[in-house]
Structure 1
Amino acid sequence: MSVRPHTRRDPAEPGSTEIQLPWWAIALPAVAFAALLLLILNPADAHAASSGPAVTGLLEHIQTLISRTAP
């Protein structure tokens, strides 16, 4: 069985530019931009500056998950 060689277009030809991006290459920056824009519009919702109960709750949750799986 023979394999056909892949022919490439000359980049200098007009109309030969093809850009193929995966869907997440557009979606992720758009989501990040929207999140940052919302934080700018309402900075009271920015809870990342305070390391309060969110971090403590997360660490406790991880600890309980680990203790459940340990024999």
Structure 2
Amino acid sequence: MSARTHTLPPPATKGGVGIRLPWWALALPALAFVVLLALMLNPSDAQAASSDPAITHLFERVQQLMTH
């Protein structure tokens, strides 16, 4: 005699994803992005700002273009 196999029913979703994220799951990456962007736009505040001056000039130019 063969045994019956039990299959799971398909998940019931009604057009949307039922996953809710906590507020910090979006806030922390956004905060990290803003901090890194601020460090790139103002490299004189960073400790290792004495690297290639061409990159520093490029970021200063981008900062000037964004503020005008």
Which protein is richer in helix relative to its size?
A: 1
Q: TM-score range by the shorter chain?
A: 0.3 to 0.5
Q: TM-score, normalised by structure 2?
A: 0.47
Q: TM-score, normalised by structure 1?
A: 0.46
